[in-house]
Every structure is written in C-alpha cells, then in structure tokens.
Amino acid sequence: MVSKRKKKFTTGEGAQFMTRKAALKKLQLSLNDFRKLCILKGIYPREPRNRKRAQKGKTGIKTLYHVKDIQFLLHEPIIWKLRDYKIFNKKVGRARAVRDFEKLNRYLNNHPTLKLDHIVKERYPTFIDALRDLDDCLTLCFLFSTFPSLAHVPRDQSALCRRLTLEFLHAVIEAKALRKVFISIKGYYFQAEIKGQTITWIVPHHFSFTPHSKAEVDFKIMSTFVEFYTIMLGFVNFRIYHSLNLFYPPKLSSAIQADAEKALVDEDIFVSERVAALNFPLTKTSNEVVEDDLEIDSFQTGEEDADKIEEAKKEAERIRTLKTLFKGLKFFLNREVPREPLVFIIRCFGGEVSWNKTLFVGSTFDENDESITHQIVDRPSLEKQYISRYYIQPQWVFDSVNARQLLPVNKYFMGEILPPHLSPFIDKERDQQYIPPEEKALYDPTLLEEQHKKDEKMGEQGESEEEESASDKDEEVNDEEDSENEGSDDKEETEENLSGKKPKLSVSVGEVYKEVPWEKNRQEKQEYRLREKMVKNKHKKLYKSMMAGRKERAKEIWLLRKKRRLHDEQDKKPKKGQRKTKNGSATPTKKTKKQKSQ
C-alpha cells in the first residue's frame, strides 16, 4: 500500500508557528484585546530557527506565535469577558445616541468586571515564584504611583499603586530585609532579601514633570501590565504581612492615632500622610516575637564544604549587625532633604527619624531635642547649630548601608566635597568592566597609585613594526646557533660510542638563561591562534561576536580611564588666577588680589 505524500509546511516549523493575523482570526478578537490577553497570560512572540519555513515560504518578517500558545488561549474564560465588554460598549453607545438615559444608567450600573485572581495563581503556583518575578512589578508600580492625573492612565490605578507600594515598604521595614541602596539619575535603587529571594526595584525621583505624549509611550499597554501587577502585588503583600504577624491591610497604632487626632482635625489626611512618612510601627496581630535569626547547623564534611559553611556563618553575622546599623541613633531631616527614601532606609536599620512638624505631619520629636545624634542637611551653612550632633549630607546614610558599618562623618560634613558614590550592585571581581580607582582603593589602598601608572601605559597598545622585525631576526639567529650546537653534540656522542668508554661523571658550570619577554608573548599568540583554528564552523559566528564584544568593552574601559586621568590632571593644575608656591599650594596673584579689593 502506497502512503500518501505529505503536503508542504504541514510538519516541522511550518506547523509549529502561527502568524498574528491567523491567531486573531482563530480567537475572534480585535488587536487590542489580543494584546491585552497576551500580556495578562504571559505569552510573547517567538523567534523561529528558520523564518522562511515558519512563515510557510512567505518573505518578509512577521510576528509569529507558537501554535500551542494560541491553543492555550482558546480555553481562557477572560475571552468571554472581553466579548462582554464589546457588547456592553455597543449597548451604551446605542442608548446614548437615542438619549435613553434610563437604559444608559442601568447598563452603567451593571457593567462587566474583569477578575485576574486565577491568572496570578496560574502563573505563580507558589509564593517563591511570585517573589522571583517581583522586580518588574515593583518598578512599574512605583513609576505609576508618581504619575499625576493623565488621560491614558486611570486615576484609581495610580492611587492603588501608591497604596500597594507603601504597604510593601512597610513590610520591608518590619522585616528589616533591606540590603543595598544606590542613588542614580533614574532614581533610588533598593535591594531587599525576602524568604531567601533577592528583590531589586527602582523608586523614581519625585520631581514635577510633564509626562511623555502618547506618540512616544503607549500608556495603554503599560496600564495593562499594571492592571495585572497590582493584583499580584496585593497577594504578595498579604502573604508577607501574615508571615510577619501583622494585620493586613495595615492598621495604625491606637496610642499614636489618639494623639494625632487631637492635633489634626481630618483623620483621613493624617492617615495618608503618616503612611507616606513611614515613621510609625504597624499594629501586630499578637505580641509574639518572630525571630528570623537562625543558627546554621554544622556537619562534618569535606574541606570545601567546611569553608562554604564558615563563609555562610560570617555572612549571616554581617547581616545580623547590618539590621541594627542605626540602632540608638536619632536623625533629624531638614526641609530640603528627600524625606521618604531617607525615612525608609533609617527605619529599616533600627534608627529613629523626625522633621519639622509645621512642614509635614508625622514627626515624632522637634529640632531642639538634645538627644538627636545626626542632622541631615543639604546646604552649605546653617545659622543655628548644636554641638551635641553631627551635621551631615544625605549620602552618608547610603554609603554607610553599602559599607555595612558607620563610616567616618568628616568627609560628609556640611559644605564638604563628597566622595564618589559607588554602586554596590557590581561585583568587585568582575571582568571586562571599568572599576573606578576609589572602588579599588576600598579593597586595597595600595592600588590607587598603581592604577595611575597603568593608565599611562594603556594608551600604548600593540607592538610596533620595528620590534616585530627585530624579533624575527633574533629568531633566525637563535635557530642557526641551535643547529650548530646540536651538530657538535652529535659528533661528541658518536666519538664516545666508537671508543667504547663510559662518559665520566662531572659537574659543569651552568649557563644563565635569560627569558626574552617578547619571545614568550609570541609563543602565547601562536598558541592562541591555533586554539582559534580549532573552533568548529558552527560556533565560529558566535565566537566572533563574543570577541567583538570583548574588544568594544576593552575600548570603553580604556576611554573611561583616559577620561578619568585627564580629569585628575586638570584638577592638579592651578586655576587661572592662581600661582603655585614652593609648598605646592596655590596663592592668588596680584591681579586677583586687586580685583578682590575692588
């Protein structure tokens, strides 16, 4: 019996992929609804190995999806809700057109609602899975919490993001889970550790700004992501609060609330401002103390395992001391200092913080309190100062957290030029990346002077043609000498064999062998080229792209070091109106003295 011949593109990649147009036709959805459904379900376009086969022989670049993903969407109940929305919009439009306001009100009161709880449970079966995917969720929710009232973003969504993100910050404070902080142009970077999972997010700077127009940013797609992320973050907050023995949603402490009601007439305003200030502890469900500090068990294992256990114990001890870094310290914030990130950081590590109560509600003590240890200011001078406290700039708080110890305050005094603010998110032993000299000096102070000498030699990359030609000549001479020596040795051996006498044992004076550095480099380059030739043909493109990336990164490092070297040289030069003395200090010239007197 002769089997039928299979049609083209019915097997393999031709049957595994489907274009977006075919997917819309199969699901009976509009493009906007299809995008929303894919975002909520976590389905994205795929890149085939052979695009021509996947597109069934058609040219061009089309958006392709896996057939199994589209079949997975066919059984989603959200599709029926999206269709109900479509019918609802038609009915509302028809009632508004004929001015039947009775029907219009009835439709608006019974509009369909979209529930995403089952999708969160489907995408994140366990709590740990949700924590692993929390970085983008937090970053986008913090971004939307800063948005003003926009036409493309619902006002309720921004308010919900604000509430959920502040609840999460409260949970991090109570758990003392914060580990690293960093200030950048984008905003404040925070990294926390919850249930053994590392979570990193960005809080944008709170500046007055004009949002991007709709042509630059598609707010509808971003809003769809936020719609799913708010449900997910609500579940995560609920689990974290119950694991910390806290009420959810968070409740105010009764004593603090009673005192605050006397001072403020409107309780709702106080609650919103207090939650924003993050300056009071939350009410717990019971008085039981939850201790997270667990001792690491020790077992008799090999040397490598023992070293790992010892390192883990040291890291646990460092984290234990980090959690109480600011314990016993009282901070007072001036009005020009960013309040919310500093309050969050100080309270995460056991410190007390306050500010002027006439500017913002929620302060716990006044400026004239003698027990204040640090006052954070961001201005060159103050009229009234107290001897019993340090006046420091905000960077001291961030750098102390990253260093996991209280740094000396003399470099962070009011009006001082601050040291560089180094990122804690980069590994000190990393390769192919620029490391500033100050960061190297933190690990080894002797490297700071050596780095400047290396930077001067970095510009002289590669060997000159004269050195190469000289090396070739030396090779020829060495080869001739080696051949002569080998010939003389062979003659001596033959003479000894003919005579039949055994060679006498003797000790001869050794010759000093001088290593030639260029010869060693030449041999290494030859071996490297041979290893490159051994790379398989199917991996050669990947290897070339890797080497091209390495060259680009090396070039970037060299340029950054050159830029830093030129900057340091410019700082060492005396300014235009100054001249150097014998001691090296700059003194103003006569011209500048006259200008000052005038």
Question: How is residue 210 annotated by DSSP?
Answer: P
pLDDT, tens digit (0-9, with 9 covering 90-100), for 496-507: 454 555 667 778
Euclidean distance between CA atoms 563 and 343, whole angstroms: 37
Above pLDDT 90, what percent of the chain? 29
Q: In the prediction, which pLDDT does 65 show?
A: 93
* Half-sphere exposure (Cβ direction) of 541: Cα atoms closer than 13 Å: 1
| SS3 category, 575 | coil
Residue 233 pLDDT exceeds 90: yes
Residue 15 in contact with residue 34, Cβ under 8 Å?
no
Write out 100-155 in H/E/C secondary structure.
Answer: CHHHHHHHHHCCCCCCCHHHHHHHCCCHHHHHHCHHHHHHHHHHHHCCCCCCCCCH
Euclidean distance between CA atoms 343 and 346, whole angstroms: 5
Q: What is the mean pLDDT of residues 544-560?
A: 90
Q: In the prediction, which pLDDT does 254 show?
A: 42
What is the DSSP secondary-structure string of 401-448?
A: HHHTS---GGGGBTTPPPPP---TTS-TT-SSS---HHHHHHH-TTHH
Lowest mean pLDDT across 311-315, 360-364, 429-433, 552-556: 429-433
Angle (deg, nearest 10), helices 67-74 and 31-41: 100
Euclidean distance between CA atoms 418 and 583, whole angstroms: 25
Q: In the prediction, which pLDDT does 181 show?
A: 94
Tokens of 104: 């219009």
Please list, residue by residue across 13-27, b when 16 or more beta carbons sit within 10 angstroms of its beta carbon and e when fewer do: bbeebbbbeebeeeb
Euclidean distance between CA atoms 554 and 466, whole angstroms: 25
Residue 478 pLDDT exceeds 60: no
Tokens of 129: 């899975």
Residue 463 pLDDT exceeds 60: no
Euclidean distance between CA atoms 361 and 334, whole angstroms: 14
From the list 152, 276, 137, the residue with the least C-alpha distance to 211 is: 152
State pTM to two decimals.
Answer: 0.74
Residue 411 pLDDT exceeds 70: yes
Type of residue at 254: S
Residue 135 in contact with residue 199, Cβ under 8 Å?
yes
Residue 110 in contact with residue 84, Cβ under 8 Å?
no
Q: In the prediction, which pLDDT does 461 show?
A: 47
For residue 522, give every residue at least 6 positions away whose Cβ sits within 8 Å of its Cβ, in sequence order, or none: 471
Residue 81 pLDDT exceeds 80: yes
CA-CA-CA-CA torsion for 159, 163, 166, 167, nearest 10 degrees? Answer: -160
Q: Helix-strand-coil percent breakdown of the chain, rounded to 5?
A: 55, 10, 40
Euclidean distance between CA atoms 309 and 490, whole angstroms: 61
pLDDT, tens digit (0-9, with 9 covering 90-100), for 139-176: 999 998 888 777 777 788 888 898 899 899 999 999 99
Kindly tell me the number of DSSP H helices and DSSP E strands found in the chain: 23, 11
Residue 347 in contact with residue 278, Cβ under 8 Å?
yes
CA-CA-CA-CA torsion for 54, 57, 59, 60, nearest 10 degrees? Answer: -10
From the list 121, 281, 259, 278, the residue with the least C-alpha distance to 190 is: 278
Residue 54 in contact with residue 67, Cβ under 8 Å?
no
Phi/psi for 129 (5° steps) reads -60, -40
Q: In the prediction, which pLDDT does 300 show?
A: 54
Tokens of 409: 């305050």
From the list 334, 327, 349, 455, the residue with the least C-alpha distance to 385 is: 334
Euclidean distance between CA atoms 132 and 199, whole angstroms: 7
Mean pLDDT of the chain: 79
Residue 281 pLDDT exceeds 70: yes
Instruction: Give, in order, the Cα–Cα distances in Å from 108 to each of 81, 88, 315.
Output: 16, 9, 58
User: Which pLDDT band, with edges at 50, 70 and 90, does 598 fall under?
Assistant: very low
Residue labelled with tokens 């006044």:
366
Q: What is the mean pLDDT of residues 346-369?
A: 85
